[in-house]
Amino acid sequence: MTLAVGQEDLLLDRAVQEVVAAARAADADTDVRDLTPDQLQPGTLAELTSPSLFAERKVVVVRNAQDLSADTVKDVKSYLGAPAEEITLVLVHAGGAKGKGLLDAARKVGAREVACPKMTKPADRLAFVRAEFRAVGRSATPEACQALVDAIGSDLRELASAVSQLVADVEGTIDEAVVGRYYTGRAEASSFTVADRAVEGRAAEALEALRWSLATGVAPVMITSALAQGVRAIGKLSSARGGRPADLARELGMPPWKIDRVRQQMRGWTPDGVAVALQAVAEADAGVKGGGDDPEYALEKAVVAIARAARSRGRA
């Protein structure tokens, strides 16, 4: 029995695919039944898992197990207590409070659990991209991995697909220039491009990138997150002790290449400017999360305020 828990669809699908692949490696004729809650009515599981005269192997996948009816949950719990040897059961569960009884029951009988958490942090997606390259034995520079995340955004399926395309098309180490050639249009529309141009004081370019991002479907909350990260990085580095990028990277929790980038961006910033910019980000964040009538205007206002703050030393 396998329990795939989380809300990241790509990871959930991969967990299922790995079980199916292992079963078919042992028996190429393994029958796979992939079922949603509406397809798994009371009694269906008992029928699927009943002994066969031919002892055929099966993989039974139950999607969205947290949404099963109470009667079907009873069926699944009953099966968990007396599983069939030739059946591999995969429960795909979102986690959380809903359907927790079934989750606990599967854990109690020792089901193998695969964590598939939603990757909401840019650092998690960056680690995912690095792992994708490592999994196929390919080398990609830190800058290339970051550029790919900046260009593609939060969709893991698209990130995985982009890695596959680069690996198939490019020989040798994959660097930032290669990513730029493949995904330059996407990169221009990314939330991090908006943030980079804003903290560099380039208001017109930041606003252009912002409008293009919104037009191509980038979520406003992703843009405020990128703006916050950009301003905080400026604040952290400006208040840090001097030193080599590697030393500062350990102290601040940033990769060394980012230290160099932020050093270039922080020219013109003052402590007061950082404070003003952080307040602008906070107001924009509230605006895009329901505190204002026009999320786009809230973002434009924040971008202009950050760009002005970036030039505060020059004006002083």
Walk across the sheet containing 87-93 and list its strands: 31-35, 58-62, 87-93, 2-6, 112-116
- pLDDT value for 187: 47
How many helices (H) does the chain have, and how many strands (E)?
Answer: 16, 5
* 112-121 confidence digits (pLDDT tens): 999 999 888 8
With the C-alpha atoms ordered 145, 6, 224, 274, is the resulting torsion angle positive or negative?
negative
* 88-98 confidence digits (pLDDT tens): 999 999 998 99
DSSP string for residues in 230-287: HHHHHHHHHTSPP--HHHHHHHHT--HHHHHHHHHHTTT--HHHHHHHHHHHHHHHHI
Q: How far apart are CA 90 and CA 5, in angstroms?
A: 11
Q: At what angle do helices 295-310 and 220-238 cross, to 10 degrees?
A: 20
Q: How far apart are CA 226 and CA 165, in angstroms?
A: 26
* 126-138 confidence digits (pLDDT tens): 999 999 999 999 9
Selection from 151, 163, 155, 160 nearest residue 189 by Cα: 151
Is the confidence at residue 196, as pLDDT, over 70?
Answer: yes
Average pLDDT over residues 166-181: 89
Q: How far apart are CA 94 and CA 108, in angstroms?
A: 18
Q: How confident is the model at residue 316 (pLDDT cuts 50, 70, 90)?
A: very low
